[in-house]
Amino acid sequence: NALDDAEMRVSHVLRGEDHLANTPRQLLLLAALGQEPPTYAHLPLVLGADGRPLAKREGAMTVQQLRGEGILPLALWNLLARTGHHYDEEGLLDVSALQAGFELARIGRAAAHFDQASLAHWQKQAVLQLGDDAFRAWAGLDRLDAAADPAAVSLLRENVTRPEEARAWVAILQGGAPPLEAEAAACVEAAGPAFFAAAIGCVHHLPHDFTAFTRDLADATSQRGRALFQPLRAALTGRLAGPEIPRLMTLIGQERIRQRFERCM
C-alpha cells in the first residue's frame, strides 16, 4: 500500500492499468501524510488467447505446472521479459542480457497476449542450447544406454520441446516397432504390401547408403517424392512427421528397419 511504499522509500511503482483509477487516491494519501510519492507507471494487462485477462480459474498455469512439464527457466524468462516489451535482439537471451535490455520505454501501450505458441518457440530455443549432459538430465535419459550416442542426443534435441517427447523418440529408435497412428496406418495401407516387399529388397544398402536405397526403391516401385518417403516414415516411426529419415535409419539400424517393413506387408 501507499504507506508501505513510503516507509520503504520505493522510487517506482509499476501496476496494471486496471489500478489507474485509484492512483489519485494513493497520491492524495501520501500528500496528507507528508510523504514524497513514488513515480507511478501503469502497464497494459497481459491477456490470454481469448482476449481476456489471465486468471488461474481460466486455466492460467503456475510455475510449478510449467516446471512439471519440463519448461526450461530460460524459455520462461524470455517469454515473460518479451511479453509486451521489445528487444532489439530476436534470439534467445540469457538473464543478464534480458536485464540489460529492459527499459520501461520499450513496453508497448497495447495489451500484450500470452499464447502457447510463443512459449513453445522459446522452449524450442532453450532446448537447442542445452549441452548433451544437460539435455539427457532434462529429458530423463541420463540412465538410458539408448541415449548415450551423441548422434541420438543431437537428433532428439533438434526435434523435441518436452521431456516426454524425447523419451517417446528413444522408444521409437531403440525399441520394438511403434504403433501406427491413424494417418500413418492409412499411408501404409495405401502404399501396399508390394511397396514394402521392394523396400526389404533394397534394405541391404542401409543404414549407410540412403541414396542407393531410395534410388533402387524408386526404380522398383515407380514412386517419387512424398509417395516414396511418407510410407517409409510411417513404417519406421508410426508417424508422418519427425526427424530426417536418413538420420532415423542410422540410429534404428538395419535389422529393426527390416522388421518394421515386414510388419507392413
Per-residue model confidence as pLDDT tens digits over 116-159: 899 999 999 999 999 999 999 999 987 666 566 889 999 999 99
Closest by CA position to 92, among listed 103, 104, 102, 81: 81
Contact in structure between 92 and 74 (CB atoms under 8 Å): yes
Q: What is the pLDDT of residue 48?
A: 81
User: Is 59's pLDDT higher than 70?
Assistant: no
Q: What is the pLDDT of residue 28?
A: 93
Q: What is the pLDDT of residue 146?
A: 58
Residue 31, C-alpha cell as written in the block: 500528500
User: Is 56's pLDDT higher than 80?
Assistant: no
Q: What is the pLDDT of residue 1?
A: 80
Q: What is the pLDDT of residue 211?
A: 97
Dihedral (C-alpha) 137, 141, 144, 150: value to the nearest 10 degrees? -80
Phi and psi dihedrals of 39, rounded to 5?
-85, 125
The share of the chain scoring above pLDDT 70, in percent, equals 96
Residue-wise pLDDT tens digits, 245-257: 999 999 999 999 9
Domains of the chain, first to last: 2-43 (no CATH), 56-127 (1.10.1160.10), 132-174 (no CATH), 182-262 (1.10.10.350)
Mean pLDDT of the chain: 92
Phi and psi dihedrals of 259, rounded to 5?
-60, -40
Please state the separation of Cα 135 from the chain's center in Å. 13
- Cα(239)–Cα(21) distance, rounded to whole angstroms? 54
Q: What is the pLDDT of residue 116?
A: 87
Q: Report the first-to-last Cα separation within the chain, whole angstroms.
A: 73
User: Is 4's pLDDT higher than 80?
Assistant: yes
- Cα(152)–Cα(138) distance, rounded to whole angstroms? 15
Residue-wise pLDDT tens digits, 8-45: 999 999 998 989 999 999 999 999 989 999 999 888 88
Angle at 22 between CA 16 and CA 27, to 5 degrees: 110
User: Is 62's pLDDT higher than 90?
Assistant: no
Residue-wise pLDDT tens digits, 76-107: 999 999 999 999 999 999 999 999 999 988 99
Higher pLDDT among residues 193 and 19, named by residue: 193
Q: What is the DSSP letter of 44?
A: P
Please report which confidence band the pLDDT of residue 46 belongs to, taking 50, 70 and 90 as the band edges.
Answer: confident
Beta strands of the chain (E only): which ranges?
A: 12-16, 39-43, 46-47, 112-113
Please state the separation of Cα 255 from the chain's center in Å. 32
- Cα(254)–Cα(236) distance, rounded to whole angstroms? 11
